[in-house]
Chains A and B, each alone.
Chain A
Amino acid sequence: MKKLINDPADVVADALRGMAAAHPRLRVDHENRVVFRGDAPVQGKVGLVSGGGAGHEPMHGGFVGPGMLDAACAGEVFTSPVPDQMVAATQGVDGGAGVLHIVKNYTGDVMNFEMAAELVAAESGTEVVTVVVDDDVAVQDSLYTAGRRGVGTTVLLEKIVGAAAEEGRPLAAVADLARRIDDSGRSMGMALTSCTVPAAGKPTFELPEGEMEIGIGIHGEPGRRRVPIAPARDVAAMLVEPILADHTFSDGVICFVNGLGGTPLIELYVVYAEVAAILEKSGIGIARSLVGPYMTSLEMAGCSVTLLQADDELLRLWDAPVDTPGLRWGA
């Protein structure tokens, strides 16, 4: 294992120290491993709390700031945070208008946020609403399974819902908007390499030269099938076609090509060109785009594609100012 770390056991704590040093406008609670907006709680504003395992940077801590999240809890690498952290985050962002928990649909994340919401309800009067993101078309959806994973749509949702909360919308409206975005977004990912969890010390799975995984998640878990490596135009089709087969998209989408950590931007733009060509052929105009490593899986090489059906309201909220370490415009 070759990594820029001190000790595998200290990776998350050390990275949070770095975030605090690099971004003095954030407040980092090192004991609870929560990144707060420096001015939290913002009175009268719905507080947005997310969180998840570390290893996906900049998500979620890098999306804390005006126009996006109020707080983010960091778990161990690829491991959900614990309820105590979520309780501390929730209490720290409650400005009197309630708190929205944005939870990616993974068994551990859902259970820990559920226990946290129960604890908050038992201890204080803070109103908490939970929205679960489940947009990964690689996973078959069924009532009898854990359901689809929460992936790329989460980034778009946190931005758009963050803008809505910043406008002063009430909790119910913010939660409705979040659910509408989850319903309108779909993602699919692929990997060229595995990744190494620091505590494990070796790659999570073996992926031979010449092969790739299609339908990968963001935790180094293997995908649904392994196929020979192919040109970017074929890979783009393997990602976009299942998305279009799963949901009807019309003109005006937000198109997000996400890097998984180990893929350079030049390759992401090669993929983006192919995705844009497929969408053009399908008569789906792209209204906005996002290209880059925003939801990573440590050093995994690969990408994911997310399409979100937008409308004038979503685009206006997308364009609204945001000022976080990971996303910043108009501010």
Chain B
Amino acid sequence: MNKRFFLIAIPVVAALYGLDYFLNEYINEYVVRVIMNCGIACILSMSLNLVNGCAGQFSLGHAGFMAVGAYVAATLTTVFPAGPSFQSHLGVGMAILSGGIAAGLAGYLVGLPSLRLRGDYLAIVTLGFGEIIRIVILNIEAVGGPRGLPGIPRLSSFFWIYVWAAITGLVLFRIIRSSVGRALLSLREDEIAAESMGINTAKYKVQAFVISSFFAGIAGGLFAHYQGFVDPSSFSFNRSVEVVIMVVMGGMGSISGSVIGAIIVTVLPEFLRFLDKFRMVVFPLILIILMLLRPMGLLGHKEIWQLFRFKRSLKKAVA
């Protein structure tokens, strides 16, 4: 923890707080909702990028972890007898954190099969886990089953969503720029070579899953306390696919790319409203064209600022 960190963090937090006030007072509700959805999407895409983009483990079950986070957090604040004591900013924060931890545990369980499976097989298993989580929730009457869970206190504000987005970005970025991140990247590049260089591939795969699903759970909790209502259909396979699209569109392994991908995937449909019912036809078409013309995504493996700075001076890094 250094001085520079606080010099940046304090103004950022203050700015977010100010923006929160500004949005509530002056901006119409529709725009605010899109901005909120962007923030949640950013958390989801950045966190999935750790597993998909960095570690190269293709996961199609992110919505499942989001569901765990959303339902655990919402249960604490809404269904749980002591719920009302959670209905403050601090309480909701604790509930959301609990949701994240629960999702992290779920991620641990899903990470285990990833030790034995590769590529498409893993994709289909994570998809299966995601669906199972959803179906299990469908069958829990205490949280409303298929009808969903209404009456969740709407306490995730712009401020909280974006503070969490910033934390997610910072944590993931620091992980990637460390020996843990390099180990994950080596998994993506060549698992056998990684193992032969002393990387405990199993351990890192599971770690990647846990960290990634923790943040997906946080996103779920924020989502629940922003919407005021959750139901199992919000966490279907399509949601997982949406997040994968964000990651691939931005560029595998690029955190800033994920942010860009999240914003495009969230905002673009709003701009395509004039297409009316063809809107959802054009969207996958854009995805296919992107894959054909720019398969590495918008930023590739790079971060956005690396596109403008060509050579990193190593001498400086050592000194």
Real binding pair: no
